[in-house]
Structure 1
Amino acid sequence: MQITFWILIFLATFFIMEFNAWFTHKYIMHGFLWNLHKDHHHKDHDSWFERNDAFFIFYALVSITCFYLWSYENVWYTLPIGLGILTYGVAYFVVHDIFIHQRFKWLRNVDNKYARGLRRAHKMHHKHLGKHEGENFGMLIVPFKYFK
């Protein structure tokens, strides 16, 4: 029975992270922490790294805290939560940084309906260089209009 709850908690956490990514992106990155995010929309430096890369640290710390609570405090349900956050982070990195922005030259030839919709939606997000008037703040869930 516990393994069923474990899997449900893991999956729920992964899907909740998509909403967290959307909320954080729209209201925090394009809000009061725009100074950290704006170099992702308009690169103003020569470094491979962006100030925007600092955002992963928050969710990494939450995930690490979950692993700590599971390992040292014996709170069993924090393991699937920590793994759900970690798995979403890996998916986000692969989709956003590798597939879409080609920060590594992998996955260049992926071409299917979902991939095209994902790239189209993200391109529409990046057409706005400023803090306001953005669209498509999520990552893995893409509005249907970008699949047409």
Structure 2
Amino acid sequence: MAWWSALLLFLVTVVLMEGFAYAMHRWVMHGPGWFLHKSHHRARDGHWELNDLYAVIFAVPSVLMIYGALHYGWWPGFVWVGAGVAAYGMIYFGFHDVIVHRRIPTRYLPKGQYMKRIVQAHRLHHVVETREGNVSFGFIVAPKPEDLKAELKRRGRKGMRRSSVPDQMAPGHTAFAED
């Protein structure tokens, strides 16, 4: 496979993974997969939560594609698709687990407009503890926070958590500011 087509396949996979992640989060994790994901919308006790099993579940196709292409003669493009899935997983981990939820301590504070927007959008997603009534299911692309706040208000704030700062959010940040 030519290097430029491998690179293109890799990059397209990373981009398309945002749509896949949105769909999985919206219709699986907040649907039939809520039994695992609900642990992520509650205060975490310890380092792990049931929701972490999704990282393993989503890594399996990536590993299988790479392994199959390298060891069983599957289509060579599967190496790059699998690598793109893995790269998206690393981007997700860095953004979601390190920057937003601070599961690994860091001094990083979002300063750019884009980073502030996606961090706030994800925090607004977490003000709802139930599987219904949530907003912002993407990870790398997110609506404007003011639009998300308006949508939460329109929905009557159904299912919203009582405390202003959930345990899994960074200290000193409120997830929902009253208008």
Q: TM-score, normalised by structure 2?
A: 0.77
Equivalent in the alignment of 2:59: 60
Where does 1:1-148 land on structure 2 (aligned, <5 Å)? 2-43=2-43, 46-74=45-73, 75-143=75-143, 145-146=144-145
Deviations 1:53-80 (A, max 9, x none): 0001122110110111111123210110
Deviations 1:79-99 (A, max 9, x none): 100110000000000000000
Normalized per residue, the structure richer in helix is 1
Q: TM-score, normalised by structure 1?
A: 0.92
Q: Which amino acid aligns with 1:9?
A: L
Q: Which amino acid aligns with 1:101?
A: H
Distance 2:109 2:33 in 1: 34
How much has 1:101 moved relative to structure 2?
0.4
1:31 is paired with a residue whose SS is: coil
Aligned residues: percent identity? 30
Deviations 1:15-41 (A, max 9, x none): 111111101101111001101011111
Distance 1:73 1:134 in 2: 43
1:32 is paired with a residue whose SS is: coil
Root-mean-square deviation (Å): 1.7
Please, which runs of 5 or more residues in structure 1 have no aligned partner? Answer: none
Distance 2:119 2:70 in 1: 39
Please, which runs of 5 or more residues in structure 2 have no aligned partner? Answer: 148-179
Contact 1:11/1:84, CA 8 A, preserved across alignment: yes
Q: Which amino acid aligns with 1:23?
A: A
Contact 1:70/1:76, CA 8 A, preserved across alignment: yes
Distance 1:90 1:146 in 2: 24
Which gives a bigger RCO, structure 1 or 2 (Cα 8 Å, sep 6+)? 1
